[in-house]
Structure formats: C-alpha cells, structure tokens
Amino acid sequence: MTDRPDDAPLLVHRKGAVETLVINDAPRNRMSLEFMDALEAEIERIAQDADVRAIVIRGSGDEHFSVGMDLKQLPAGIQRMGSAEAVFDQRLRVLAAIENLPKPAVAVLYGYCLGGGLELPLACHFRLAAEEGARIGLPELDLGTVPAWGGSARLTRCVGRDHALDMMLRAKKVSGPEALRIGLVNEVWPLAELFDRADALATELAAMPAEAVAGVLRCVVEAGAKTLEEGIAEERRAVLATMGTKDQREGIQAFLEKRKPQFNQ
C-alpha cells in the first residue's frame, strides 16, 4: 500500500506490475468529489508509469463495489466546479482516460454496482462479477433521469441494443450469472474467490508484452469509431511498432525454442 492515510478516498496497492485502486467508502463505496479528483490524478500517473502494466479497480470491503455518485454532494460539486455539466464532464474525462489506458484495467463487480458503479467498470477492459449477491445496473430512470457518465453508450456497445434497453428502461438490476449471459462481464466467480481471480488475471495480463498490449488496446477500443479500413490501418501501425522490439524478438525465440516467453525484461 502507498503512504495514503487509511481514510483517503482512494487507496492504492501495488504488487509487482499490478496496481489495485480501491474506492474507500465502505460499505457502499460512493464515488465522492474527492475520490474522482484522486482517481483522475492516479490514472494520469499510471498512464506514464512503465512499471505498472495492469490495474484492478475494486471497492473497499466485500459488500459492494459501488452505488455510484454521492448525490448529496452534487450541490457542492456544482458550486465548486461551476455547473452540473462540469461535474459530469470530469467523470466522463476520467472514464475515458481509463478506457484509453495503454494497459489493461480489470473491474471487480460484487454487491451493488449501480449507476456510476457500473459506468466505471464499463470503461474497463475486463469485468469479473460475483456469482452470488451482485446487483448490476443503470437504474437512473428510478431517479427520473438518465445515465450521465457514458453508461448508455458503453452499455449498448457491450451488450447490444435490446439488452441495454431492457436494463435501462426497466431500471433492471442483473445478477452476476445474468451479466455473464448477456456479455456484460467476462467471468463469474464465487465471491470468496473473486478478488484472487481478478489479481491473477491482472498478473497474467501484466506479463504480456507491453508494447503489443498497448497496440491491441488501441486497435480494439478505437474500433467502434473507425471504418474497417481505418481499423486495419491502425492495426498495421501497432504491428510495425512492435517489430524489432526486445519483446518481439523474445516471443519469436521462445516459440522456436518451445518455451514460455519472458516479456518486459
């Protein structure tokens, strides 16, 4: 753990090349104004830190990932930042920065994952959910409004129009197994195993060749906004960026020698 105080809104743990970011407001892990400020600064730092090659985002404790924004803070946020739009713009900016990281982000979903508590995971590259107890959704219609952090767009891209409408128009909260069925999460695990599995996945991803990982992320994340030809051109740029690198030479040599490659050395 870093030297942050125990009551800091964002806690950071580091193990090898994996950094774990913890929403520190148990049990509900609301995403406060202070949390978003800290998260924005940390994501900016991670993007520049070559020693961090994968991240895990989770909540504090094992009851809930997050219920999203602390709505009681919205008036203070508007006063501090000048408008509701400015408050939401920061959150959109932070989520876009996570989505566009050149290293994989793994979100751990359990308990309540509602509103911003789903919008943040939707910006991550992998989502793992608890087999039991998860309540995952964008129930903003229950508040008379709509998702404000890009959730409607990202959810539709993730699960398709029909499932997205079903979840949002009914303010529906799905379980971990249902989220897996509709393609909202990559894996489902018993809660007792979930956090270890997220760490293992992040460690596996961190061991992959960093330059090639960044290239794949760039190609895939940007694919929805590009034509096929533009996507292929981006892929070509990513391929050429890896040619002759130490990791690329190691990968080929390991293949020829029939052994597991050792990347990022």
Show the CA angle centred on residue 240, arms to residues 238 and 246, nearest 5°: 100
Q: Which residues pair with 20 in a beta bridge?
A: 13, 56
CA 20 – CA 236 distance, rounded (Å): 32
CA 30 – CA 23 distance, rounded (Å): 8
Residue 140 bears catalytic tag: yes
Peptide bond into 27 cis (omega under 30): yes
Residue of 119, 131, 178, 211 marked catalytic: 119
Q: Residues 75, 98: contact at Cβ < 8 Å?
A: no
Residue of 42, 140, 178, 211 marked catalytic: 140
- By the 10 Å C-beta count (0-12 exposed, 13-18 middle, 19+ buried), 70 is classed as buried
Q: Which residues pair with 137 in a beta bridge?
A: 114
Residue 19 bears catalytic tag: no
* Enzyme catalytic residues: 119, 140
